[in-house]
Amino acid sequence: MLAAPGWKFFLKGHGYENRGLFILTTGAEIIPVIKVDNRIIGDGIPGAITRSLTDRFKRYVFK
């Protein structure tokens, strides 16, 4: 589980109500977040924006 500084602060202020969340990292690329603290984010599946960004990223990197 991610334990970055500020992570819980962001979620308490905004994240739990979002329809979707994702994390960007250098090594793991785009990581959809579907559950935090046993709370389901959005529909509990990666959202359309996350899927679109992931697809675009992969097309760009692997062309």
Which of 36, 42, 48, 30 minimizes the C-alpha distance to 11? 36
pLDDT tens string 32-45: 888 877 888 888 89
1 lies in a domain? no
Which of 45, 25, 48 minimizes the C-alpha distance to 34? 45
Q: What are phi and psi of 36, to 5 degrees?
A: -140, 130
13 lies in a domain? no
Q: Which tokens go with 59?
A: 């097309």
Mean pLDDT of 1-22: 62
33 lies in a domain? yes
pLDDT score recorded for residue 20: 79
Our count of domains for the chain comes to 1
* Contacts of residue 43, Cβ cutoff 8 Å, sequence gap at least 6: 19
49 lies in a domain? yes
Structure pTM?
0.65
14 lies in a domain? no
pLDDT tens string 12-28: 556 567 777 888 877 77
10 lies in a domain? no
12 lies in a domain? no
